[in-house]
Chains A and B, each alone.
Chain A
Amino acid sequence: MKKIYTRPASLKEAHFHYCPGCGHGIINRLIAEVIDEMGLRGKAICVAPAGCGMLVYNYFDIDTLESAHGRGAAVATGIKRVRPDNLVFSYQGDGDLAAIGTAEGFHAANRGELITVIFVNNGVYGMTGGQMAPTTLKEQITTTTPSGRNPVSAGHPVRVCEVFSVLDGTSYLERVAVNSPSGIKKTKKAIAKAFQHQINRTGFSLVEILSPCPTNWKMSPIESFRWIDEVMTKQFPLGVIKEVKC
């Protein structure tokens, strides 16, 4: 029996707790595949966030630390400075990175810390039940924007890659989406490239991944996939935002 596709070795046996159709599951698998293919299992250290992504230490069969909400980039800085030869990445959601953890992410990027941030942008706070996130779109309804996000009172959706792109310490910023087979393949390449930038010490790398959240968007999985294409990517255009020579 020749294997065409099997579970990546760097994934533990535990079942994912994610909701049906959630993008975290795809992203976790892609990270594990990249770690396998780049032979990084003995080198990788993951910093897990607070939020839906916090249970990655039950899924990644690599050394993982859970950090306080929003502090992942600072914790990863501490780890990487002590262990420069390890592959250190911080897995963060939009609330974790673009709200409470803005300063930590911004300054880690500005210092050009040789870490990678895997930034899962699903437009809401998932684990706590679907509240507005910094990346919630205009007029998007969430449990804390019941009549739609009004920029006058609740601000505008923030484009993290673009913001970080003007920080000289950043070397690779790409926005991808896991809402289609081609998008998933691009996401995997982006993660691999980000890790390669870290290994080549070019600077701070971040992959922003638009990810479906059917439960809190109140859509079916396939509708949430379409919503990303038809609506989300208008505010968050896909593509390489910044890349220095690797």
Chain B
Amino acid sequence: MKRLMSGNAALGEAAILSGCTCYFGYPITPQNELTEYMAKRMPESGGVFIQSESEIAAINMVLGASVAGARAMTSSSSPGMSLKQEGISYLAADELPAVIVNMVRGGPGMGNISPAQSDYLQATRGGGHGDYRTIVLAPSSVQELVDIVPLAFDLADAYRNPVIILGDGMLGQMMEPVDFSDIKKPKDYPKDYILTGAENRPSRMVRSLLFDTKEEEEHNWKLYRKFQRIEANEVRCETFMTDDAEIVVVAYGIAARIAKGAIKRLRQENIKAGLLRPITLWPFPSKNIVELARYVNDFFVFEMSTGQMIEDVKLALSGRGHVNFYGRPGGVIPTPIELARIVSRHYYQTQKVKRQ
């Protein structure tokens, strides 16, 4: 049964259905609808809702709820995400599960409230201190947002690591029909590390201060081995019309939907364009790009920023093929026609060069 909902609200419902019992949020456009939805629905479902005094307090409440054994979530938008970075580093260091939502908006600084993709590096490289990674999931529709929420909670519990859902203002505020029936009751994950009071058991401590450098080093390599497992097992991406593609656009989230529109137009002009859409931004689908590079020479990275994911594309290709870029930062929303024209112009210029 489908319901017409905004991305933010749908995300809230999906979280509750995924067993999230604690939500801590702070007002910031363009994600307010999620906080407001949780303010109503979380108490109804017997869970905890707090509008915190800051995004810093919210992420630390998530840490507390998580170490106490609950599935906890917070959400914000770009400036608020910057405030949460310290907390995210502590979640990773303490190996605690948590889901953090970023509806990205135009930046840097105050920026604006329009959708953007300029937090890619903050999300995938980690904006906090220390060697840690966060799994980053990038949905490109409200339905996929709903499908990704239970996955985010499961990955967080399975790997005991913070997971970031990277959306944007458009994805959060636009409305699309969604169906929640695929969300199953969450599996039980071992919770032998949580703090419940040392009743008839030895006391536990959860901490990330390791004065002894050898201990801290080993802790880092232990986390590193976890991240390697994630990179090996959790990559997700979608390909669209790439089988016979001569030129492949690489785009994620809302930009990928714009790219699909552009690709359909290009195909009408007999330009064989395709799309590779990373769904996990970390771990990045490097192997999938390298595979395409076996027969594709021309890659077109399209982002709503001045170009951040392009670094991962170049890293994956390490010199193979040509990597072109088209981006519109600052909250501008490019149109499919616009991208189609840019790609076709590039296509014909390179064809002319080939013919000469």
Q: What is A's interface to B at a CB cutoff of 8 Å?
A: 41-45, 47-48, 54, 57, 60-68, 71, 74-83, 86-87, 103-104, 106-107, 111
Closest residue of chain B to A83, judged by CB?
Answer: B68
B227 in contact (CB, < 8 A): no
- CB contacts (< 8 Å) of A106 on chain B: these are 53
15 A-B pairs (CB sep. < 8 Å)? A45-B196, A64-B207, A65-B94, A65-B207, A71-B60, A71-B63, A71-B87, A74-B57, A74-B64, A75-B61, A78-B22, A78-B63, A81-B48, A86-B197, A87-B197
Asked if A65 contacts B61 (CB within 8 A), the reply is no
B59-85 vs A, Cβ < 8 Å mask (1 yes, 0 no) = 011111111111010000000000000
Asked if B87 contacts A78 (CB within 8 A), the reply is no
Contact of B207 among A48, A83, A86 (CB under 8 A): A48
Main secondary structure of the interface of B (DSSP, over half): mixed
What separation, in Å, do the CA atoms of A230 and B270 have in the docked complex? 89
Contact of A71 among B48, B56, B203, B206 (CB under 8 A): B56
Q: A170 to nearest B CB, angstroms?
A: 16
What separation, in Å, do the CA atoms of A133 and B51 have in the docked complex? 29
- CB contacts (< 8 Å) of B90 on chain A: these are 67-68
B21 in contact (CB, < 8 A): yes
- CB contacts (< 8 Å) of A66 on chain B: these are 205-209
- CB contacts (< 8 Å) of A86 on chain B: these are 68, 196-197
- CB contacts (< 8 Å) of B204 on chain A: these are 63-64
Asked if A82 contacts B21 (CB within 8 A), the reply is yes
What separation, in Å, do the CA atoms of A86 and B195 have in the docked complex? 10
Asked if B198 contacts A78 (CB within 8 A), the reply is no
What separation, in Å, do the CA atoms of A21 and B114 have in the docked complex? 58
Q: Which of B1-55 contact A (CB under 8 A)?
A: 21-22, 24, 48, 50, 52-54
B86 in contact (CB, < 8 A): yes
Q: B54 to nearest A CB, angstroms?
A: 6
Asked if B63 contacts A82 (CB within 8 A), the reply is no
Asked if B195 contacts A78 (CB within 8 A), the reply is no
Instruction: Across the A-B interface, give the 5 residue pairs with the lowest CB-CB distance, nearest first.
Output: A78-B64, A42-B199, A66-B207, A74-B60, A78-B61
- CB contacts (< 8 Å) of B64 on chain A: these are 47, 65, 67, 74-82
Q: How large is the interface on B (under 10, 10 to 19, 20 to 34, 35 or more residues)?
A: 35 or more
Asked if B60 contacts A78 (CB within 8 A), the reply is yes
Asked if B203 contacts A75 (CB within 8 A), the reply is no
What separation, in Å, do the CA atoms of A104 and B26 have in the docked complex? 13
- CB contacts (< 8 Å) of A42 on chain B: these are 197-200
Closest residue of chain B to A100, judged by CB?
Answer: B56
Asked if A103 contacts B209 (CB within 8 A), the reply is no
- CB contacts (< 8 Å) of B60 on chain A: these are 67-68, 71, 74-75, 78, 104
Q: B166 to nearest A CB, angstroms?
A: 23
- CB contacts (< 8 Å) of A111 on chain B: these are 50
What separation, in Å, do the CA atoms of A107 and B24 have in the docked complex? 14
A75-B61, A78-B68, A82-B69 given; 18 more Cβ-contact pairs under 8 Å: A42-B200, A45-B68, A60-B203, A63-B204, A64-B204, A65-B195, A65-B206, A66-B206, A66-B208, A67-B64, A67-B90, A68-B87, A71-B56, A74-B57, A75-B67, A78-B60, A79-B67, A81-B22
Closest residue of chain B to A113, judged by CB?
Answer: B50
B315-328 vs A, Cβ < 8 Å mask (1 yes, 0 no) = 00000000000000
What separation, in Å, do the CA atoms of A128 and B208 have in the docked complex? 18
What separation, in Å, do the CA atoms of A244 and B205 have in the docked complex? 33
